[in-house]
Amino acid sequence: MLTKTYNTDNIRYIVLSILLIISSLDAGSYSYRKYPHVKKFYKEITPIAIKISKEHNLPAASLLAIAGLESGYGRGYVCQITGNIMSLGAFKSDPELPALTLPYSKSKQQILFDKNEIKKHTKADLDYKKRHKSLKKDYRPMQYAGTVKNLELLKYNEKLRCQAHNACLNDFATRWICKKSNIKAFKNAKIWLETLVADNNKNILFNMNTNSRFIDKIGGVKNSFNYRKSWPKKAKQVMKKAGLVELVNNIQNKHMSFDEAWE
């Protein structure tokens, strides 16, 4: 009877081959990656999310998933105007986006806020309505925040847009998910994360289980980020179908560029 022996290199090669096959199968399931606007959105905010994740012990992939879900991958008109990608409500001292009279384009089936874009449409295509005060924090520069002026500012200014996204994610990490929060779900989630990192290390923030559990802890119940039971499922679906856990791991641990990690 012939027996085949394997040395360490053989075993390592076999394991790596299996992992590559599994990885390729998983990558094929990342169906949201085929959309250019999804890639564009995540290319801008992923470095910010990873930085804030490490600074404040929050799971990066779940931040990206929540931002994508809440902002429509940066396509929601409130998000485009304010830079508020997490749909964060304004505190008492924060500027809010006021009530706006904006047109709805019948042909594009969306609300328009950019005066340059509005000019391209016929009057018959536009249906003007007064939109309610959003109650969301406005992250535009001080001279514009909370006003009806220069609504399209962040759309055309990438630097200011990234600054707004950074401020929004930082608020989420320091004013919402914090030990001083009056919201029990947020306070408990922060304590849980701090304990998790203390017992392990910051790499624990980049695995699927931590990200999924964090989403479950802050949503789906009364007095949480979103009380709807479907919300955690939707956020986790975004995380899975955009391959966000793998994305942040490839950038953080394998030192890939965003484009390499995404493709």
Q: Which of 172, 208, 207 has its CA nearest to residue 190?
A: 172
For the residues 189-212, what does the mean pLDDT come to?
Answer: 96
pLDDT of residue 19: 47
* Average model confidence (pLDDT) across the chain: 91
End-to-end CA distance of the chain: 47
| Boundaries of every domain in the chain | 30-89+152-262
Q: What is the DSSP letter of 89?
A: B
Second-level CATH architecture of 30-89+152-262: Orthogonal Bundle (1.10)
Tally the residues of the chain: 263
Tokens of residue 63, six digits: 């931040």
pLDDT of residue 215: 98
| pLDDT band of 6, cuts 50, 70, 90 | very low
> 129, 79 in Cβ contact below 8 A?
no
> Cα torsion at 46, 48, 51, 53 (round to 10°)?
-70
- Distance (Å, whole) CA 224 – CA 17: 43
Q: Flag whether the pTM goes above 0.85.
A: yes
pLDDT in tens, 115-130: 999 999 999 999 999 9
The gap from C-alpha 87 to its chain's centroid, in whole angstroms, comes to: 10
pLDDT of residue 28: 55
Task: Determine what percent of the chain falls in helix, strand and coil, rounding each to the nearest 5.
Answer: 60, 5, 35
For the residues 239-263, what does the mean pLDDT come to?
Answer: 97
pLDDT in tens, 169-200: 999 999 999 999 999 999 999 999 999 999 99
- Distance (Å, whole) CA 196 – CA 164: 30
Q: Which of 4-8, 140-144, 256-260 has the lowest mean pLDDT?
A: 4-8
pLDDT in tens, 73-91: 999 999 999 999 999 999 9
